[in-house]
């Protein structure tokens, strides 16, 4: 009976450790996903800036041709 109680305690201990590891993996995954999202936002911002410059060049070109 004592061995059974010790085994049950060990099982509960391992369950707690598994929960801690799952939480750690979730945090790591969340940090990775957030990093990827930031990278993609930066890429979109760079692309939008490029498009804004192109639009400005076309606008100046159109104005000079209209004059």
How far, in whole angstroms, is CA 12 from its chain's centroid? 33
- Residue matched to tokens 């000079």: 64
pTM value?
Answer: 0.61
Where are the alpha helices (H) located in the chain, listed in sequence order?
2-66
Among all chains, which residue has been given the structure tokens 């692309």? 47
pLDDT along the chain (67 residues), means of 10: 84 93 93 95 96 92 84
Query: What is the distance between the alpha carbons of residues 41 and 49, in angstroms, rounded to a whole number?
Result: 12
């Amino acid at each position: 009976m004592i061995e059974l109680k010790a085994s049950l305690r060990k099982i509960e201990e391992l369950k707690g450790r598994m929960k801690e590891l799952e939480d750690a993996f979730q945090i790591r995954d969340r940090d990775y996903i957030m990093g990827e999202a930031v990278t993609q936002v930066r890429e979109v911002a760079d692309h939008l800036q490029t498009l804004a410059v192109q639009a400005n060049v076309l606008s100046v070109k159109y104005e000079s041709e209209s004059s």
